[in-house]
């Protein structure tokens, strides 16, 4: 006579065997994927294509969490040489306000916000056009500190009751473990420093009191002297005074991107490029410049990218995030009232 206890043991045994088989299959599959990826990276690193090699190094070195991949194959000296040969060259030029005269807001019958789909050879993304630049401002977490965790963009947007928002400046992120509470450079909100000091120099992206986009390398005091009301720091500048910033080689590599620009009529361009996905690997600095110039930007600057890149509109995320674990906590953002 077979008891219930015996039946239970047999069922458990069969489940155990099935689990072991499944684990073995998944383990084998994972090992295969890792082997293929490792082989592909090795081929890129040591293959005949200098372009593929530089694209690989520049792309991974822009991602704090996976920079080790470049160090697996190259010395620091080699990496530095590749980065130097594939970089933007803004030479400290700063935008001139007169190139962005601001006109009256569009008539009521015209939409003040328009969202376009953007595509390129290696990327997909969204471009938001905000006709009234006075609606743009810098939003942030309540307090900046090395000991404070930042917030998700969705939270920052909700806290301000904003209509839309994109991620903003860079933040301290050693080896990809930053908490998102420590901005790079400085942050100006409503004409006041909320982070950093007047003598801090950085690549600045912001708006002055006349709602003109200001981009370029300057100190905090120089920004205030320019009448900047809201600004944060990252870079590089992409378009300055109607001209693209020169970029050598594969500057920036292929990565998720966020950028902001302004047309001569005052319209603000908010760009978010999806990346690290089969259908959208990402964009380079040149790709960002191409898009900004195509849509009439006279000034534009690159913002933090990678797993921070995100665009929110009417309470919904309308871009595709780069990782399955979700967006990162960030310290600040450009918001639309």
Q: What is the pLDDT of residue 168?
A: 98
Q: What is the pLDDT of residue 29?
A: 42
Calculate ∠ Cα 130-305-160, nearest 5°: 50
Beta bridge partners of 124: 119
Q: What is the pLDDT of residue 97?
A: 73
Nearest to residue 269, comparing CAs of 224, 302, 244, 246? Answer: 302
**278/188 Cα distance (integer angstroms):** 38
Q: Determine the straight-line distance between the first and last CA of the chain, rounded to whole angstroms.
A: 76
Reduce the DSSP state of residue 119 to 3 states and report it. strand
Two structure tokens written together for 163: 């209509």
163 in Cβ contact with 336 (< 8 Å): yes
- The domain spans of the chain are 4-85, 97-336
Contacts of 153 (CB under 8 A, 6+ apart): 165, 166, 167, 310, 312, 327, 330, 333
For residue 236, cis peptide bond before it (omega within 30 degrees of 0): yes
Taking 50 as the pLDDT cut, the residues of the chain under it are 24, 26-38
**23/296 Cα distance (integer angstroms):** 54
Q: What is the pLDDT of residue 16?
A: 59
Reduce the DSSP state of residue 208 to 3 states and report it. strand
- 4 DSSP 8-state letter: H
* pTM (predicted TM-score): 0.86
The tally of CA atoms less than 13 A away on the side-chain side of residue 72 is: 15
Q: What is the pLDDT of residue 103?
A: 58
Two structure tokens written together for 293: 């110039």
Q: What is the pLDDT of residue 31?
A: 42
């Amino acid at each position: 006579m077979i008891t219930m206890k015996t039946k239970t043991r047999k069922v458990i045994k069969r489940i155990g065997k099935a689990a072991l088989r499944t684990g073995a299959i998944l383990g084998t599959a994972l090992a295969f994927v890792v082997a293929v990826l490792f082989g592909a990276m090795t081929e890129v690193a040591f293959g005949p294509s200098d372009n593929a090699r530089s694209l690989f190094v520049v792309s991974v070195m822009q991602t704090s969490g996976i920079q080790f991949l470049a160090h697996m194959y190259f010395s620091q000296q080699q990496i530095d040489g590749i980065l130097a040969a594939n970089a933007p060259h803004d030479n400290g030029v700063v935008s001139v306000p007169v190139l962005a005269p601001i006109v009256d807001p569009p008539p009521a019958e015209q939409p003040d916000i328009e969202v376009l789909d953007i595509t390129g050879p290696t990327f997909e993304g969204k471009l938001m056009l905000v006709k009234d630049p006075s609606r743009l401002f810098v939003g942030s977490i309540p307090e900046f500190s090395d000991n404070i965790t930042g917030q998700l963009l969705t939270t920052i947007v909700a806290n301000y009751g904003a209509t839309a928002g994109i991620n903003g400046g860079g933040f301290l992120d050693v080896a990809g473990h930053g908490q998102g509470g420590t901005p790079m450079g400085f942050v100006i909100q409503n004409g006041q420093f909320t982070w950093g000091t007047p003598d801090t120099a950085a690549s600045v992206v912001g708006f002055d009191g006349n709602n003109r986009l200001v981009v370029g390398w300057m100190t905090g005091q120089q920004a205030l002297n320019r009448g900047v009301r809201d600004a944060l720091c990252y870079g590089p500048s992409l378009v300055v005074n109607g001209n693209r910033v020169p970029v050598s080689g594969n500057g920036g590599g292929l990565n998720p991107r966020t950028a902001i620009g302004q047309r001569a009529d005052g319209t603000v361009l908010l760009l978010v490029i999806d990346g690290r996905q089969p259908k959208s690997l990402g964009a380079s600095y040149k790709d960002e410049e191409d898009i900004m110039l195509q849509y009439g930007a006279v000034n534009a600057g690159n913002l933090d990218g990678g797993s921070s890149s995100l665009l929110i509109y009417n309470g919904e995320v309308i871009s595709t995030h780069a990782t399955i674990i979700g967006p990162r906590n960030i310290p600040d953002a450009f918001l639309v009232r």
